[in-house]
Chains A and B, each alone.
Chain A
Amino acid sequence: MLYAILSTFVLAAFSPWVHRLAGRYSGWVLALLPAALFVYFASFLPAINAGETVVIVTPWMPGLDIQLSFLVDGLSLLFALLISGIGFFIISYAGRYLEGDRDLGRFYVVMLSFMGSMLGLVLADNLIAMFVFWELTSVTSYLLIGYRNEDPKARKAALQGLIVTVGGGLALLAGIVMLAIAGGSYELSEILNSGDAVREHALYLPMLILILLGAFTKSAQVPFHFWLPNAMAAPTPVSAYLHSATMVKAGIYLLARLNPSLGGTEVWFTVLALFGAVTMFLGVFLSFRSTGIKSVLAYSTIMALGTLTMLIGIGTETALLAAMTFLLAHSLYKGALFLIAGILDHEAGVKDFLQTGGLRGALPITSALAMLSALSLAGVVPMLGFVAKEAMLESVLEAPGLVPVLTLLAMASAILGVAVAAIVGIRPWFGPRVETPKRPHEAPPALIAGPMVMAGLGLVFGLGPGLADGGILAAAARAVNGGVPVETYLSLWHGLNWPLAISALALVTGLLLYSRWDRARERLAWVDIAARFGPERGYDRLMDGIVRISEWQTRLLQSGYLRYYIMFIVLATAVMVGVTAQIFDVSAGPLRLQDLRFYELAILAVMGASALFAVLSQSRLGAVAALGAFGFTVALTYVMFSAADVGITQILVETLTVILLVLVLFRLPGFLGLSPRLIKLRDAAVAMAGGGMVMLLLLSTHNAREFPSIAWYFIEEAVPAGQGRNVVNVILVDFRALDTLGEIFVLALAAVGVYAMIRFRAEDRK
């Protein structure tokens, strides 16, 4: 399993060379890997359908008990099959679609890396591993949306997608850590068995909110839906694969995966069902009023994602099976439709439905496949989309609550869904022939193979729903249901019932709406104005705000004046330490002044006098010398406490510091008192705060000993273990040699820094 996922990354690394060697056949060559993976995953089918769950563990860091573990059950297998199966067609399609593109090699690298990340995401058993793959899909998606990196719009859309999904990812990380705390393990296979413990945990609500933030941003739920249509700046194969069939479903996968642990509560149902239903309606509504081919498809993808969220929220056995069926149906028809949109762009040069019409004669096969997929989108007999839609309506009618709201939204979405399907399945192909930028002709096999198989499967599974049900969907629904087999099954004919009636109503009303499409769009022009106040506006405001705040704080903190830097550092340290001391109730020990000896008092007096002189001196050299004197008295105190080594070091460092300062001061102009009195008082206050804080800290550490001192260990072990009588040296070079290594590294780094700073400035002057 590990090798299966790694193989995609390895191939990704070598794909530019494969591309160079295989030339125009590179798409087919590279597509062999997803094909092989599909076969490999399919080999798990018998065991999974027999009710087994396979956990594959590869030791990674056995010493730390960290392992790479993978969980194969119905849900992850369904996703893995979709990812590798559709991936096969996408890669071979891209080879032809982007043929001759100078960045095609780079495209393969990112695309295959994405495939590996997505497989890792759905197969990972370890939450942290899953999160890493989750973020990898965001990053690869960013690179793919911004594939045309000369286009500022593509770059903006890529960044928007990245910020929204990665922002959600951060919330998700916090959420899964809480989940692991509540569930007692980072392994999904164990967490899923401790659902009650998770649901009753005090962290349940914050955990749920954070995880839902992750899932909703990834799966473009309202109000985070706006990034998905913008992501259509990516080349069409990317839109088909990432932003329709696979990546955006990662959020759905997460919800379905965690349903046994998090699901079944009032909050879960209400939030998921409502957000899902609103997303479903808004998606199809916005789809209906778009005219760009890819944006119509993108918005209808949002509808599908909303539907899936709602179904998982409803959570009855019918709903879970409906969700899995809808997932499969949507991946098949939407993948096919996106690829057909690519064909229209590639072979006829059209990107907008208004530019199309009467293309049936020029692209007979493509048009037939488009109509077949549109039937599935509309939910018409005998496609898999119909089976899924019937099951969806049935679950909505039987939902544990909110039935009127959900039914209303589902019905409205069904009607608009039919209209959208008509736009896709009728508009480009029938009616008067419209002139297209390119002379339209039928697509080559590499482009048509994917839509053909996907649309075909939609039909086959529609005619024989038992095939899909027994093949994988029942196992997937069982996994979402927490390992309990679902009692319902799929069928094409459910008898005369309410769902069928709604479907029939939707079909008629939807076609009627389609016939008034042009006028309806005019009527809906107000949506553009309303959209100015929508969530995308909020995103733009947020980004502008971040830029403004960072400009403001940069101007405040990075003033370029050394005195302000020092002031901020000292003040910040003093305040932070002071506040922490307050919180933890740290207090200074008693000052036992009567224990002081007279020579100690003498040293203290010299210390104080030299410090005072350094502050008040009107000459720089005088101040430096006074500081040096101060340092020597410090060294003296070390010697008094018989720390000879530290004392010697202090003296040497003090000597060198004075020399260093003299070297620098040499070049400064004469000393001038430029600061007004008020500023001097402020600086004095800052200095006193810093010094006072250090003093309090020293005094309090003296009487706050929470652990036994380790000094005796070093003193006792220095000779037997370190073979040296100088304990300080033994500690430095033997017991704590690694620390010393770090220290000399820092020292060397500082020297290189000084060297670079002065040398480069000198060169700049020349």
Chain B
Amino acid sequence: MNMHSLILRTAGHFLLPLLLLFSLFLLFRGHNEPGGGFIAGLVAGAAFVLYLFSMDIAAARKVLWIDPRSLMGGGMTLAVLSGVPGIFRGQAFFTAQWWELAVPGLGKMKLSTVLLFDIGVYLVVIGAVLTIMLTLAEAED
């Protein structure tokens, strides 16, 4: 799989953290500007795939640090759990809950179950993309 390209390898090293940061940016701005969990997840997935192409599978797995299948499971769990708080307030499952947090020096910050749900989507998308890609890449050996 290794492309043996110096340029690609060097670029991969630098692009991975940048793309991951970009995906987080997309994730958090998603509620008001174009972005969101699905898109962010695809960007992060693509970032890891780029890394996979520029290095090799072992390196990609190492930098990923966690098995992509666990990412899917964790994401699904988070997404389902984000629907639960509504029930405790006597509302329907998945009714969005919002809290406002005052962060010293930064002003007010909005937290919500919606954000948790979006993070769940984000994780599932990364997990699914990487599970498929890594499995296919490993099958070649």
Residues on A lying within 8 angstroms of B by beta carbon are: 644-645, 648-649, 652-653, 655-656, 659-660, 663-664, 666-667, 722-726, 728-730, 732-734, 737-738, 740-741, 744-745, 747-748, 750-752, 754-755, 758-759, 762
Distance (whole angstroms) from the CB of A374 to the closest CB of chain B? 65
Q: Could you tell me if B112 and A723 are in contact, using CB atoms closer than 8 angstroms?
A: yes
Q: What are the residues of chain A within 8 A of B129 when measuring CB–CB? A: 656, 751
Indicate if the CB atoms of A656 and B49 lie closer than 8 Å.
yes
Per the bound structure, the CA–CA distance linking A659 and B133 in Å amounts to 9
B31 proximity list for chain A (CB < 8 A)? 723-726, 729-730, 733
Given contacts A723-B110, A751-B72, 15 further A-B contacts (CB under 8 A): A644-B34, A645-B36, A663-B136, A722-B114, A724-B114, A726-B31, A728-B36, A729-B30, A732-B36, A733-B118, A737-B94, A740-B79, A741-B83, A748-B76, A751-B128
Shortest beta-carbon distance from A115 to chain B in Å: 39
Question: Taking the complex as formed, is B24 at the interface, i.e. its CB lies under 8 A from any CB of chain A?
Answer: no
B98 to chain A, nearest CB (A): 6
Is the CB–CB distance between A660 and B132 below 8 Å? yes
B124 within 8 Å of A (CB atoms): yes
B2 at the binding interface (Cβ < 8 Å): no
A contact residues around B137 at 8 Å (CB): 663
- The CA-CA distance from A725 to B35 in the complex, in Å, is 11
What CA separation (Å) do A724 and B110 show in the bound complex? Answer: 11
Q: Does B12 contact A (CB under 8 A)?
A: no
How far is A666 from B141 in the complex, measured between Cα atoms in Å?
Answer: 12
Which among B32, B118, B140 is the interface contact of A667 at CB below 8 angstroms?
A: B140
Which of A655, A725, A741 is within 8 Å of B32, CB to CB? A725
Show 13 residue pairs from A and B whose CB-CB distance is below 8 angstroms, ordered by the A residue. A656-B129, A659-B49, A723-B110, A724-B31, A732-B37, A744-B75, A748-B72, A751-B69, A752-B72, A754-B131, A754-B136, A758-B139, A762-B139
Cβ–Cβ contact A648 & B125, under 8 A: no
CA–CA, A659 to B50, complex, Å?
10
Within 8 Å CB of A738, what residues of B? 83, 93-94
Q: Is B96 a contact partner of A726 (Cβ separation < 8 A)? A: no
CA distance A755 to B129 in the complex (A): 11
B120–A755 CB distance below 8 A: no
Give B30-60 interface residues, CB cut-off 8 Å to A.
30-39, 42-43, 45-46, 49, 53
Is the beta-carbon distance between B33 and A744 smaller than 8 angstroms? no
| A residues in contact with B30, CB < 8 Å | 726, 729
- CB–CB A656/B76 < 8 A: no
Q: Is the CB of A652 within 8 A of B136?
A: no
How far is it, in angstroms, between the C-alpha of A733 and the C-alpha of B120 when the chains are bound?
Answer: 10
CA of A44 to CA of B30, assembled, Å: 67
Number of chain B residues close to chain A: CB under 8 A: 49
A728-B36, A752-B69 as given contacts; A660 in contact with B114, CB under 8 Å: no
Q: From residue A653, how far is it (CB to closest CB) to chain B in Å?
A: 7
Contact A754/B124 with A652-B39, A729-B35 known, Cβ cut-off 8 Å: no
Binding site for A on B (CB under 8 A): 30-39, 42-43, 45-46, 49, 53, 68-69, 72-73, 75-76, 79-80, 83, 93-94, 96, 98, 110, 112, 114, 117-118, 120-121, 124-125, 127-129, 131-133, 135-137, 139-140
Are the C-beta atoms of A660 and B36 separated by less than 8 Å?
A: no
Question: Please, how many angstroms separate the alpha-carbon atoms of A734 and B93 in the complex?
Answer: 11
Q: For the complex, give the distance between the alpha carbons of A688 and B88 in Å.
A: 54
Name the residue of chain A whose CB is nearest to the CB of B124: A744
| Complex contact A725–B33 (CB within 8 A) | yes
CB contacts (< 8 Å) of A664 on chain B: these are 136
Question: In the bound complex, do residue A752 and residue B36 qualify as a contact, i.e. CB atoms below 8 Å apart?
Answer: no
Contact residue among A729, A741, A755 (Cβ-Cβ distance under 8 Å from B69): A755
Could you tell me the distance between the alpha carbons of A261 and B39 in the complex, rounded to whole angstroms?
A: 61
CA distance A723 to B118 in the complex (A): 14
Q: How far is the CB of B38 from the nearest CB of chain A, in Å?
A: 6
Cα A751 to Cα B96 in complex, Å, equals 29
Shortest beta-carbon distance from B123 to chain A in Å: 9
A573 to chain B, nearest CB (A): 25
**Nearest CB in chain B to that of A747: its residue:** B128
Q: In the complex, A663→B3 CA distance in Å?
A: 13
Q: Tell me, in angstroms, the Cα distance from A656 to B136 when the chains sit together.
A: 13
**Assembly CA distance A645 to B31 (angstroms):** 11
Give the Cβ gap from B9 to chain A, nearest Cβ, in Å.
17
A660 touches B46 (CB 8 A): no
* Given A659-B133, A725-B33, A754-B132, A732 contacting B38 (CB threshold 8 A): yes
Residues of A within 8 A of B76 (CB): 744-745, 748
Distance in angstroms from A734 CB to nearest chain B CB is 5
> Contact: A741 with B131, CB < 8 Å?
no
Q: Are B46 and A655 in contact (CB under 8 A)?
A: yes
How many angstroms from the CA of A724 to the CA of B118 in the assembled complex?
13
Q: Least Cβ distance of A543 to chain B in Å?
A: 43
Given A652-B43, A754-B135, does the pair A726, B36 have CB atoms closer than 8 Å? yes
**Chain A residues whose CB sits within 8 angstroms of the CB of B80 once the complex forms:** 741
